[in-house]
Amino acid sequence: MTVPPVPLPARTTVGVVGAGPAGLLLARLLHRAGIDCVVLESRTRDYVEQRQRAGILEQATVDALRSSGAAERLDREGLAHDGVELRWGRRRHRVDFPSLTGGRRVWVYAQTEVVKDLIGLQLGDGAPLLFDAPVSAVVGADTARPLVRYTHGGAEHTLACDYVVGCDGFHGVTRNAAPEGALTTFERAYPYSWLGVLADVAPSNDELVYAHSPRGFALLSMRSPTVSRLYLQVPNGTDPGAWTDERIWDELDARFAVDGDWSLARGPITQKSVLPMRSVVTEPMRWGRVLLAGDAAHIVPPTGAKGLNLAAADVIVLARAFEQWARTGSTAGLDAYSDTCLRRVWRAEHFSWFMTTTLHTAPGQSDFDTRLQLSQLDRVAASAHAAAELAENYVGGPVG
């Protein structure tokens, strides 16, 4: 028996473009607040759920997932982390979060798992979440009824909204809803990328390891007690296929090398990908009745583990603003949204730039610049104030 197609909504309160962490968490928060929304995602569910991304959640992100009923598996499988390790000049230095930040910590739980959990809940609740539904345009941002034009099932459709939120990432279309010149983009590109790998081997450190070395940056992270996530700095344009497993492990060994008893366990590499490093901010994050959240509004280099958490912070603020509007008719929260979020965005941009430029060895970097980096790392090891500045930024703070 053929299942009758689900009737596509022609109208909703909040149209959400994109089902990454930003779009999915916003939809979950709105659904829990009784505000109807429709999520339109261009890719398939499988593609969205398998896309390898970050793995660090700030407490505010965890709290939002918990309050929206989306943290049952996170609470069971997530790993609470109380610090990270920095390495330079064959030295190791641990930055302890709780003692430096008044008790705060972070959680290790892959973005892929956050996305799976949110999709499962939304679909389980029958919330309108359409995959294979690419949005071609958002129009009418300066009207009371912005429209989202999309295709699904081989046909063109239009969704009439009270508001549209672009959660469609760096390559999305929602930014185009603003007139030419209305938005300003601030950008910085970095002269290196990351080669990221997943490996079926237990992580060789209990906490994350960020390593500065003359050969380039390396990061040891994890996905579970049996799966390691590792990254190494490579030139822009690197082909992941040019790196054999052995070459990857040999290079990671060289970059993590320290005096004393530590070794990097090896195992089969199951996934390789290269990601560029860039900082981008679009201001303002709103034009009329169209708002931007997450990577659609800002990009950070992953060194500070801020991308997912900034996306979550945006939609936490936005969901509160929509709830205020739905309850009282006041648009005060919506009107303040961009300025509220940009304060946190620029703090995260600076921290991500600081971590990236302190830990990476740029092509042709002068010895003077290397000495500055090593002096900064020595400072973190020697001064509780310097260590606290790094820890405070890494764990993040309350949203809004």
- Any idea which residues carry the catalytic annotation? 81, 210, 302, 306, 394
Residue from the set 27, 56, 161, 377 that interacts with ligand PHB by CB under 6 A: 56
Q: What are phi and psi of 198, to 5 degrees?
A: -105, 135
- Count CA atoms closer than 13 A to 246's CA, side-chain side: 0
Residue 303 interacting partner from ligand PHB, ligand APR, none (CB closer than 5 to 8 Å by kind): ligand PHB
Asked if residue 18 binds ligand APR (CB under 6 A), the reply is yes
Binding mask 97-136 for ligand APR (x = CB under 6 A): --------------x----------------------xx-
Q: Which of 229, 272, 289, 320 contacts ligand PHB by CB under 6 A?
A: 229
12 binds ligand PHB (CB under 6 A): no
Determine which residue in the list 311, 317, 359, 390 makes contact with ligand APR, applying CB under 6 A: 311
Examine residue 393 and tell whether it contacts ligand PHB (CB under 6 A). Answer: no
340 belongs to the binding site for ligand PHB (CB under 6 A): no
The least distance separating ligand PHB from the CB of residue 306, rounded to whole angstroms, comes to: 8
- Applying the rule CB under 6 A, the residues between 214 and 273 that interact with ligand APR are none
Is 54 near ligand PHB (CB under 6 A)?
Answer: yes
56 binds, among ligand APR, ligand PHB, none (CB under 5 to 8 A by kind): ligand PHB
Q: Which of residues 270-329 bind ligand PHB (CB under 6 A)?
A: 302-303, 305
Q: Which stretch binds ligand PHB (CB under 6 A): 40-48, 51-59, 252-260, 319-327?
A: 51-59
Contact residues for ligand PHB (CB under 6 A)?
Answer: 54-56, 208, 221, 229, 302-303, 305
Contact residues for ligand APR (CB under 6 A)?
Answer: 17-23, 40-43, 48, 53-54, 111, 134-135, 167-169, 172-173, 294-295, 307-308, 311
